[in-house]
Structure 1
């Protein structure tokens, strides 16, 4: 079996789902042994993160340089803004409609409510945890435009790179790329070749790291369920089901958009999306999926490399459609859980606050991303403190779905921003 067949098997969706299922079963049967597998998943994700910033910086600078030589930068900016607004509104409305129709937070059984109470009550450090997280949330709520703008500009690009601050690195790459684009080609040719070398080397590393995906997924799934068990999933089952339905609808919509924008058949389009789909589920890290997104759009679907290499890092960093729809669903679920009335004004407030919180989540991961639900709950005076531990319990699964929405959704956004490929 040659390397291309092994790669195709490793990123096959059925192999991904099967590995997750077998790992989960193993984690439930042998929880103590399974928890030791977590180190494998940690090392794998760190290897992927290792290439993220060099890849993003080199791709953006190199692409901007080529864009300036090709022309059309002003028209592209208007298209980017339009797509950002349209995509944000779409995911927020779809999430709200599903939650209002399914109503996962209403008419819960007494056993489920008892489980909620046990989980909140058994968190002996919950008050301290919430105070710490709300210290961060309160600062985020009080941030004005001046604070936001100054926080985006790196005072030291090397410190930003060392700290893994993707948003500041992106700002530097955009400004530096604009400047390099104005430098005569005879002077900048050496830098262009160096950046192209870094870009292709990082892409090759990502490709190699895709081969052990089934094994990595098995270990990560086993470690997670071995640690948490199925109790949290039972308690939040209705929310997880509702969020899964939202994710399925949005991923399907994104796939249709990509299909219609490409010059390929539906089967060829879905085949090209296998690698970013698998990596999104495996890594739960959207930045780590950027090389596979670019490879799928350029090599698989024929979009122009210069545009794609610029738009993928930009959308992944700024167009946070996954967190946006998650905040909508979580806030409406908490409102239903506490019997808060939801009229047109309340739902509209949740949609707007969730979109803003989504943009605020740029560069954030893990607990900080979940804690930003408090930014949306405060507008409806909802007690997010008590519900935080519930969302924390199922966040590994929700994080997987958030990343999938972000990766496939942003892939669709890039296809709308970029010109259609020529039909073969």
Structure 2
């Protein structure tokens, strides 16, 4: 019996089987619409399962990472440099992604497609309903940027938890993590050990739920795409192409930066980190790749052990480079479907909101991951609606390359931090040499 279950689980975890179930779900939604509607209860049930461990993982990861950063025995100036390096990198990533979305305009030609209108106006999976194509698309009430910022601060953390307000929860965890770090630095008490002990438990819960991802993906896609036509496929491919183009371009840039700071040849650098990249592509889990990445960076490429061990575990769960690309381009995709025109201030807002929302995406899976994009769209007066089904279909095409980009960017930032630490060490040694008194001169015997 145990062998049979093991074989079944191995099949369920096979990426090809997952992809086949997604294709089957898409085909069922297209060609067997009446049958697809019957899978709606199962889709909602699995979507609820995916959300069970999301909030604990998001909260614990953010809290413990920031507490470690503050309590680490490095100087405040060095910590500021680490924050500046990775902060600059995520801002650049967001700006590039938004600019690429503006230039490529994914979904621009689909705004007049009635099938796209149907899936956009669908409420996102809670119910399947008939929609009149003669009625204009109803937009949600516009919220100002200032109101959006104010709304990210929770009045009561328990209220935020009860309503699963991810942005408010992540802001609370950031404040708690920073404060806990400064307090722990003074009294030398470890306040995160107990929390970290529960993190593997929540990951295990999430892992077991994801065993049934093929079945969940089939039900979800079948029900979400039951009102679509074959024209949706071209939309999915065009959106995936824009995302992949940005991620691959930024990955190449990161590889060049890593090569410049490694002191080795370009191909030696790629070979040195190849184990991490292969693992990232196959597992699609950046957290899983951290130990291998630390080993490759230190043993194969010769970077500082202490710096790499500090920056990689902190940057991987907090600086979600691929998620930033996904949210930024996805937001512009929805804007184009609604045929909206945005000004410069709106694009700047998308950059800011994408960065903030990416922090909330740490540890989230399934519909939660995609639904966070609604927090970016709401201030623009646009609903996420049924486009979540399109993002569910796009993600498997993008995720392997996105994980590779995520790990390459994290390693690139870690390499820059190593270079800054090495440069600062040289300056300190030079200043010590200047301050030390010259050796006494010997008397002239002549």
One fold, TM greater than 0.5?
yes
Report the CA distance between 1:421 and its aligned residue.
Answer: 11
In 2, the alpha carbon distance for the partners of 1:96 and 1:243 equals 12
CA distance in 1, matches of 2:7, 2:19: 18
Q: Does 1:172 align with 2:176?
A: no
Q: 1:54 aligns with which of 49, 53, 56?
A: 56
Measure the CA separation in 2 of the matches of 1:176 and 1:370. Answer: 25
The alpha-carbon distance between structure 1 residues 114 and 38, as it changes in their structure 2 partners (threshold 3 A), is closer
For 1:401, the equivalent position in structure 2 comes to 394
- Equivalence for 1:249: 245
Unaligned runs of 5+ in 1: 277-291, 341-345, 379-383
Runs of 5+ unmatched residues, structure 2: 122-129, 259-269, 298-307, 361-367, 419-446
**Which residue of structure 2 aligns with residue 69 of structure 1?**
72
Give, in whole Å, the separation in 2 of the partners of 1:66 and 1:356: 25
- Write the distance in 1 (CA, Å) between the matches of 2:375 and 2:164: 20
Compute the displacement of 1:86 (Å): 0.9
TM-score, normalisation: structure 1: 0.67
Superposed CA offset, 1:331-387 (max 9, x none): 45666xx9x9xxxxx8977754643564576669778946966976x9xxxxx8xxx
Match status 1:269 vs 2:277: yes
Q: How far did 1:300 drift? A: 6.3
Partner of 2:289: 296
The question of whether the paired residues in 1 share the 8 Å contact of 2:108 and 2:333 is answered with: no
Structure number with greater Rg is 2
Change (3 A) 1:120 1:254: closer
Q: Which residue of 2 aligns with 1:87?
A: 93
Distance 2:206 2:314 in 1: 18
- Structure 2: distance between partners of 1:207 and 1:78: 34
1:90-105 matched pairs, under 5 angstroms:
90-99=96-105, 105=109
Q: Tell me the CA shift for residue 118 of structure 1.
A: 9.4
Higher helix share: 1
Distance 2:7 2:322 in 1: 35
**Structure 2 Cα separation of the partners of residues 256 and 10 of structure 1:** 33
Partner of 2:46: 44
Distance 1:253 1:211, change over 3 A: farther
Q: What CA deviation, in whole Å up to 9, does each residue of 1:92-148 have, x standing for no partner?
A: 23333434xx99629x9xxx8687899999844986861xx331xx2x2x333xx44
Residues 152/65 of structure 1: CA separation in 2 closer, same or farther (3 Å cut): same
Is contact 1:6-1:211 (8 Å) kept? no
| In 1, Cα distance between equivalents of 2:377 and 2:115 | 21
For each residue in 1:205-255, what CA deviation from the matched residue of structure 2 results, as whole angstroms up to 9, or x when unmatched? Answer: 222223222232233233333x32x43x42x56544421211232343466
Alpha-carbon contact 1:59-1:310 (below 8 Å) kept? no
* Distance in 1 (alpha carbons) for counterparts of 2:5 and 2:276: 20
Q: Is the contact between residue 40 and residue 223 of structure 2 (CA under 8 Å) also seen in structure 1?
A: yes
Paired residue total: 370
> What is the match of residue 315 of structure 2?
311
Matches within 5 A, 1:230-249: 230-231=228-229, 233-234=230-231, 238-249=234-245
Q: What secondary structure, in the 3-state scheme, does the structure 2 residue paired with 1:134 have?
A: coil
CA offsets, 1:134-193, max 9 Å, x none? 31xx2x2x333xx44432322222222222122222222222222222334796756322
User: Whole-Å Cα distance in 1 between the matches of residues 101 and 357 of structure 2?
Assistant: 18
Q: Give the distance between the partners of 1:185 and 1:273, measured in 2 at CA.
A: 38
What is the Cα deviation at residue 315 of structure 1? Answer: 3.4
The alignment partner of 1:191 has SS state of coil
1:295: Cα distance to partner? Answer: 1.9
CA distance in 1, matches of 2:117, 2:137: 17
Q: Judging changes above 3 Å, is the alpha-carbon distance between structure 1 residues 191 and 330 closer, same or farther for their aligned structure 2 residues?
A: closer
Partner of 1:35: 37
Matches within 5 A, 1:4-23: 10-23=12-25
SS of match in other structure, 1:182: helix
1:327 corresponding residue in structure 2: 331
CA contact (8 A) 2:120 2:386 kept: no
Q: Which residue of 2 aligns with 1:288?
A: none
Q: Which residue of 1 aligns with 2:267?
A: none
Q: Secondary structure at the match of 2:145?
A: coil
* Contact residue 257 and residue 412 of structure 1 kept, 8 A: no
1:151 aligns with 2:155: no
Moved more, 185-194 or 30-39: 185-194
Which residue in 2 is equivalent to 1:417? 413
Superposed, 1:363-402 pairs within 5 Å as 369=373, 394-401=387-394
Q: Helix, strand or coil: the match of 2:211?
A: coil
